[in-house]
């Protein structure tokens, strides 16, 4: 708690500003991995492991470590490649490179080292397919999304979003050693979840993206078309979340969970469009959708694991 010394001559108390913690290399290395983003990726990795079978705690631990390092390495290389636009965007200018706390070479070396170690760990102690899928996600995120699509097309997060859909495949392969239609369905769920999630943020951060000259959908298509696209992608996502029930992959517990989560999601997306059509502020509904989609995906995948456990 901040102390407030009192002037002995009767003057007003003089507040003492809080002491800020000094930057440290360890803290910056953690920042490079984007741990808050990785936490959701790990949910979509670990939950499919329990949906696919009964993994040992050691396998779960190894996949968790390997998955974190692979995703963290990709995020670090992303910061290496995006150092110039990070410097002009308000929400990213305090990252290690634009702030001057780390050099680009240090960040690149850290990212590559994380990915290399993760590949070895997963291939040596889990299986080669798991390692290959994790590495494919790394390359897709770094080269297809960050290096190519992000700065060239409003479809950047649609196609590039496939990188974030690899974790369910990684988790499934770690347990079964193979992929099947259920694993593909989980991949597609994350793939079609990505546009409404990130376009909600893009609507809110148009100034930042415009300053960085990143062609996000609202800047190229306009707000109205972006909102319409969010609705269509949400419709496809809802259908995909129900497909596993139709071919018997999941049962009643998952079905009820998916229906409730989907109703809330569609309601939120429609609220954005309705507010815009009525000439009312839509930023509140957009923030709600952005934050809810994070919870939505985590709960949906947890429902898969729970359904298999009790089924």
List average pLDDT for each run of 10 residues in the chain, which is 311 residues long. Answer: 40 44 79 91 96 95 97 95 86 86 94 98 98 96 91 88 93 96 95 96 92 92 96 97 92 96 98 95 96 97 94 72
Q: The tokens of 256 are what?
A: 């009820």
Flag whether 103 is in a domain: yes
Given 177, 202, 219, the domain boundary residue is: 177
Residues 185 and 236 both lie in one domain: yes
Flag whether 239 is in a domain: yes
pLDDT at 25: 86
Residues 159 and 198 both lie in one domain: no
Residues 264 and 157 both lie in one domain: no
Residue pair 219/171 in contact by the 8 Å Cβ criterion: no
Supply the CATH number for residue 170's domain. 1.10.357.140
pLDDT at 121: 98
Given 177, 211, 241, the domain boundary residue is: 177
pLDDT at 22: 57
pLDDT at 16: 43
Residues 133 and 243 both lie in one domain: no
Residues 146 and 186 both lie in one domain: no
Identify which of 84, 261, 67, 85 has the alpha carbon closest to the alpha carbon of residue 172: 67
What is the extent of the structural domain holding 118? 25-177
Flag whether 30 is in a domain: yes
pLDDT at 212: 86
Given 154, 177, 200, the domain boundary residue is: 177
pLDDT at 46: 97
Calculate the alpha carbon distances from 72 to 101, 171, 261, 263 in Å: 18, 17, 29, 33
Calculate the alpha carbon distances from 276 to 169, 211, 280, 283 in Å: 37, 24, 6, 9
Flag whether 5 is in a domain: no
Residues 154 and 185 both lie in one domain: no
Residues 202 and 162 both lie in one domain: no
Element holding 76 (H helix, E strand)? helix 57-81
Residues 46 and 155 both lie in one domain: yes
Residues 297 and 267 both lie in one domain: yes
Flag whether 14 is in a domain: no
Element holding 235 (H helix, E strand)? helix 223-246
pLDDT at 18: 43
Calculate the alpha carbon distances from 127 to 78, 120, 174, 297 in Å: 27, 10, 7, 26
Flag whether 10 is in a domain: no
Flag whether 19 is in a domain: no
Residues 106 and 245 both lie in one domain: no
Flag whether 261 is in a domain: yes
Residues 40 and 164 both lie in one domain: yes
Q: The tokens of 304 are what?
A: 């898969």
How many domains does the chain fold into?
Answer: 2
Q: pTM for the full model?
A: 0.89
Residues 234 and 144 both lie in one domain: no
| DSSP summary character for residue 140 | I
């Amino acid at each position: 708690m901040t102390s407030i010394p009192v002037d002995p001559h009767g003057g007003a108390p003089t507040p003492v500003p809080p002491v800020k913690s000094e930057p440290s290399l360890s803290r910056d290395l953690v920042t490079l991995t984007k741990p808050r983003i990785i936490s959701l990726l790990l949910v979509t990795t670990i939950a499919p492991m329990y949906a696919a079978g009964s993994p040992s705690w050691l396998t779960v631990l190894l996949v968790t470590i390997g998955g974190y390092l692979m995703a963290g390495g990709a995020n670090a290389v992303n910061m290496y490649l995006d150092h110039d636009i990070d410097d002009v965007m308000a929400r990213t200018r305090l990252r290690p490179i634009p702030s001057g706390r780390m050099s680009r070479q240090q960040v690149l070396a850290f990212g590559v080292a994380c990915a290399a170690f993760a590949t070895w760990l997963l291939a040596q102690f889990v299986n080669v397919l798991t390692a290959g899928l994790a590495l494919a996600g790394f390359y897709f995120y770094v080269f297809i999304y960050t290096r190519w699509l992000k700065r060239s097309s409003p479809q950047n997060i649609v196609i590039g979003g496939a990188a974030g859909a690899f974790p369910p495949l990684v988790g499934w392969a770690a347990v079964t050693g193979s992929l099947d239609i259920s694993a593909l369905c989980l991949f597609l769920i994350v793939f079609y979840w990505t546009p409404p999630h990130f376009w909600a943020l893009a609507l809110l951060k148009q100034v930042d993206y415009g300053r960085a000259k990143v062609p996000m959908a609202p800047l190229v298509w306009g707000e109205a078309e972006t909102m319409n696209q969010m609705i269509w992608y949400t419709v496809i996502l809802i259908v995909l979340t129900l497909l596993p029930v139709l071919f018997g992959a999941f049962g009643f517990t998952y079905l009820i969970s998916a229906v409730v989560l989907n109703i809330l999601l569609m309601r939120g997306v429609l609220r954005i469009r309705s507010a815009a059509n009525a000439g009312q502020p839509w930023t509140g509904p957009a923030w709600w959708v952005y934050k809810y989609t994070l919870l939505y995906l985590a709960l949906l995948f947890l429902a898969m694991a729970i359904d298999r456990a009790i089924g």
